A and B are shown apart, each in its own frame.
Chain A
Amino acid sequence: SQQGEEDPQALSIQEGENATMNCSYKTSINNLQWYRQNSGRGLVHLILIRSNEREKHSGRLRVTLDTSKKSSSLLITASRAADTASYFCATERGDYKLSFGAGTTVTVRA
């Protein structure tokens, strides 16, 4: 069962612009993670935010978590062509299983 749902499904931006995508989930979580997947490849972990954290940064990435609204956002600043990929949120509910959303496909135009 899918716990997280990303929005939008697809996003096209110009190089240098910021990209924002959102993740909503249904039940209480221990942590929420974001992953990136280049076409035809495995997923790569980007950032983990715990349920008692509200914001986290890693390089050009900024993640927020609002547990009252059961939502998270991922912001990529100053996007580059290499950021073209699909981005997935994943939630861990305490049952040792990560549940992934369907992803947001980001295209960065040169």
Chain B
Amino acid sequence: DGGITQSPKYLFRKEGQNVTLSCEQNLNHDAMYWYRQDPGQGLRLIYYSQIVNDFQKGDIAEGYSVSREKKESFPLTVTSAQKNPTAFYLCASTAAAMTGELFFGEGSRLTVL
């Protein structure tokens, strides 16, 4: 079945540690996105990539980094510079940047201890 796989589903991190969230898609989609969701605030865009080896900052990129070395993969690293990293992280993809619906993964919940 085609879809987007995020892992891990739950992740605990100590302050000062970097963590990497995985996002893989087998939909052959060009564009991929990372969103952060906090209670009552909806989704906020962290980074997006329209094509392999290219990505752009979203609205809240500080403290995060990404790479897009393969079409299928768009990992997100939450660095120690992110002041409030506890959140629900959602990865999404679309066939062509912003011409239609986004397909979402099931999310990764990161908790900083």
For residue A81, CB closer than 8 A to chain B, the reply is no
A88 to chain B: which residues have CB within 8 Å?
42-43
Counting contact residues on chain A (CB < 8 A from B), the size range is 20 to 34
B98 touches A98 (CB 8 A): yes
Q: Are B90 and A43 in contact (CB under 8 A)?
A: yes
Contacts of A59 in B (CB 8 A): none
Residue of A nearest to B91 (CB): A42
A96 to B31, CA, bound (A): 9
Cα of A61 to Cα of B68 in the assembled complex, Å: 36
Contact of B48 with A96 in the complex, beta carbons under 8 Å: yes
B58 within 8 A of A: yes
| Structural contact, A48 and B50, CB atoms closer than 8 A | no
For the A-B complex, the count of residue pairs with Cβ-Cβ distances under 8 Å equals 60
A interface residues with partner B (beta carbon < 8 Å): 1-2, 30, 33, 35, 40-45, 48, 88, 90, 92, 94-103
In the bound complex, what is the Cα–Cα distance between A77 and B44 (angstroms)? Answer: 30
Q: Are A43 and B98 in contact (CB under 8 A)?
A: no
Given contacts A1-B59, A96-B98, contact A42 B42 (CB under 8 A): no
Q: Complex formed: what's the CA distance from A98 to B42 in Å?
A: 12
Q: Are A44 and B42 interface neighbours, CB within 8 A?
A: no
Cβ contact within 8 Å between B40 and A97: no
B100 within 8 A of A: yes
Q: Sort A-B residue pairs by CB-CB distance and give the 7 closest, nearest first.
A: A42-B104, A45-B101, A100-B43, A102-B42, A96-B97, A96-B98, A43-B104
Beyond known contacts A43-B90, A95-B98, A102-B42: 6 more, CB 8 A cutoff = A33-B102, A42-B106, A43-B102, A96-B50, A96-B98, A102-B40
